Structure 1
Amino acid sequence: MSKSNKVLSEIKNIIPGLIVAILVSLISMGLAKFMPSLGAGTIAIFLGMLVGNLFLGQKVFQSGYKFSETNLLSYSIVLLGGTLSVTKLMELGFSGIIFVVIQMAITIVGTMYIGKKLGFSQNFRMLMASGNAVCGSSAIAATAPVIDANDDDKGITITIVNITGIFLMFLLPVLCGRLYNHEVVKTSAMIGGTLQSVGQVVASGEMVNEHVKEMAMIFKIVRVILLVVVVFTLGHIKHKTNHEIIEEEVSDVKKGKIKIPWYVIGFFITCALFTVNIISPEVSSLFKAISNKLEIIALGAIGLRVNLRELIKQGKSVSLYALFVGLLQVVTAIILISIFL
């Protein structure tokens, strides 16, 4: 198959699911006018879950759903950078960065320990650690080849990490309302420093307000930047505990094969351009409007990809593992926020 034919084939595979995600987002935006307290993003997730599990969960739609969730959300994040100045990023402060680093370290160590007590393999525990500490599926995909994990471990871990994130995505806004009365920095730290995927951070922040969503994304981006460090560390641990040479896998990190996601770089570029006024306020407003629309489509796709049957199928031990890790993350965040923020 020629390159052009391959591209056309991929586009054809994406279109059905993309159309469904767009329709879900349009309906959600319409419903949000009557339910402004919920917001279009939240409605899109719930509507997507309903539609995806009852009617449109077939394989033909999955490529489009995945494209909408990953690619469109990435474009949304890059455009979001064009609405924020460096001054806004600096609101995180040194204490905010320390919070993120310690939160990630405790998540990794705790996840490895809990998994060992529950009898899971080292590879499975490492995938759970990276997925929960950094950025969900992306971190798992980056870690798997470095530790030589098999496809079964990778698939189950991606499923359980995403399911954990979905639950926390709805829980954290309520919890932060009780604990912090939705104070921006503390609520953003809880959401951005805890949730597994970028999409979940956007969705959860959206449930509170625009300021929390933006600040939570900054906390999350710091975690994503540290992906290289986490993957290298886990590869090094694997090498030492097995007492064998895995230079090929670990050297992938050294050679730069494990890279910071492109949208993080794009976010900082557009942020810098806005700070020095190359992106004008008028263009920034356009960026924000487009970013918001892409975000709602992506959130609808997140809902469409939630497979409730997969959740029911997971065994008791895997469910307990996810529960304990989620509790660890939330409790640790509460303690660290009280200390640093």
Structure 2
Amino acid sequence: MKNEPNAFLPVVPGLLLCGAVTLAAYALEAAETRVFGRAWLESLVLAILLGTGVRTLHRLHPRFESGIHVGAKLLLEIAVVLLGASVSAGALLENGLGLIVGIAGVVVIAIVLSYFIGRGLGLPKKMAMLIACGNSICGNSAIAAVAPVIDADGKDVAASIAFTAVLGVVVVLGLPFLVGLLSFTPVEYGVFAGLTVYAVPQVLAATASVSAASVHIGTLVKLVRVLMLGPVVLVLSMIGRRGGSGNARLRLSHLVPWFIVGFLLLLAARSAGWIPEAALVPAHEAANFFTIMSMAALGLGVDARAVLRAGGKVTSVVVLSLLGLGAVSFVLIRLLAV
């Protein structure tokens, strides 16, 4: 028993540093909101940028490393579990099975398309998959959730998030212009925004200037994409394990990461109404905090000079992948005539 506290002590300095970067990111986001009326860069993005800046400009003492590693992995897995309490399958089924199946199909097609675009432009397999999942599901959150499953390198995660985040801001600003250009109705535009914009807050920002109907349907479509995170990560986990160890009798715990099981259990509990309403907001806030703190840890493990070497390729892959997602989404909207 005496050794247990001592075993925890080595991670404290790194976790405290991650916490300090996280608080700084929150403060900068609040300052953006006060000055500009909105946060152009969310605290999640700011955390990884600040962490990367600290790592690049200052050589960290080795005592920080173990805590940074725990922050980047364990806290992220806890955040994914808590994310399951944020979505309910019931509200989604009310909007038609055809639309739900279509959205799932778009996500699968977009992942495959984006992955092969990345590989075709010379990106490593893991980085190509990170960008594919980020573009096709829910941006930074999907990249963060997929990373531990495919054992992605920290610099690949940081680069993927940084470039997708910048492009996400551009998409939010430019998407409303497509209403007239593509002759979208408010509902069609909401579906398109839900299929192409990365984060739920960004969907709200991209649709609020069009109509309330766009906001409503866009949010629901976005939630369907979020629901795809669990199955996608589960499949990637099984693919990653297959053939790797040569053991045909792998245990279920080896095939299914514990945090994906937790995500699906909380999703089922939320859908069944077993989670009290009073617990939903704290769960969401905790998931958000742990995600941001894990992004700070990822940033603290990355030297920006290494990330910048892959800048041109990553930018091209992200842009082309997003254009492919937009094209597939447009086809779905015309086929379903929503």
Q: TM-score range by the shorter chain?
A: 0.5 to 0.7
Partner residue of 1:21? 22
Matched-pair contact (CA < 8 Å) for 1:131–1:137: no
> Could you tell me which of 189, 201, 204 is aligned with 2:202?
204
TM-score calculated relative to the size of structure 2: 0.65
Alignment partners' CA distance in 2, 1:34 and 1:76: 32
Alignment partners' CA distance in 1, 2:130 and 2:271: 29
> Could you tell me which of 70, 89, 98 is aligned with 2:101?
98
Shift in alpha-carbon separation, 1:9–1:95, aligned structure 2, 3 A = farther
1:330 aligns with 2:326: yes
Shift in alpha-carbon separation, 1:230–1:334, aligned structure 2, 3 A = farther
Shift of 1:17: 1.5
Instruction: Provide, for residues 23-54 of structure 1, a one-character-per-residue CA deviation record: whole Å limited to 9, x for no partner.
Output: 43255346535654x15x84535654664455
Instruction: Provide, for residues 120-146 of structure 1, a one-character-per-residue CA deviation record: whole Å limited to 9, x for no partner.
Output: 6xxx346623651363254354346xx
- The amino acid across from 1:128 in the alignment is A
Partner SS, residue 255 of structure 2: coil
Matched-pair contact (CA < 8 Å) for 1:44–1:300: no
Alignment of 1:122-141 (within 5 A): 124-125=124-125, 128-129=128-129, 132-133=132-133, 135-141=142-148
Instruction: Provide, for residues 172-217 of structure 1, a one-character-per-residue CA deviation record: whole Å limited to 9, x for no partner.
Output: 32343233569544322223xxx4xxxxx35534645796567524
- The amino acid across from 1:335 in the alignment is V
Shift of 1:309: 4.0
Shift of 1:316: 4.4
- The amino acid across from 1:187 in the alignment is A
- The amino acid across from 2:330 in the alignment is I
Matched-pair contact (CA < 8 Å) for 2:146–2:233: yes
> Could you tell me which of 107, 110, 117 is aligned with 2:110?
107
Q: Name stretches of at least 5 consecutive residues in structure 2 with no aligned partner.
A: 180-185, 209-214
Shift of 1:160: 4.3
Instruction: Provide, for residues 297-337 of structure 1, a one-character-per-residue CA deviation record: whole Å limited to 9, x for no partner.
Output: 74587478567544422164555444433432333333334
Instruction: Provide, for residues 60-107 of structure 1, a one-character-per-residue CA deviation record: whole Å limited to 9, x for no partner.
Output: 4855863797267446524534xxx55323246423432343324333
Partner residue of 2:168? 169
Q: Name stretches of at least 5 consecutive residues in structure 1 with no aligned partner.
A: 145-150, 196-200, 237-245
- The amino acid across from 1:288 in the alignment is V
Alignment of 1:271-290 (within 5 A): 271-272=270-271, 275=273, 279=276, 281=277, 283=278, 287-288=280-281
Matched-pair contact (CA < 8 Å) for 1:110–1:325: yes
Shift of 1:222: 1.7
TM-score calculated relative to the size of structure 1: 0.65
**Aligned residue pairs, count:** 302
Q: Which moved more, 1:7-16 or 1:26-35?
A: 26-35
Shift in alpha-carbon separation, 1:168–1:62, aligned structure 2, 3 A = farther
- The amino acid across from 2:146 in the alignment is A
CA-based RMSD: 4.5
- The amino acid across from 1:90 in the alignment is L
Shift in alpha-carbon separation, 1:218–1:15, aligned structure 2, 3 A = farther
Identity %: 11
Alignment partners' CA distance in 1, 2:98 and 2:251: 29
Partner residue of 1:80? 86
Partner residue of 1:221? 227
Shift of 1:268: 1.2
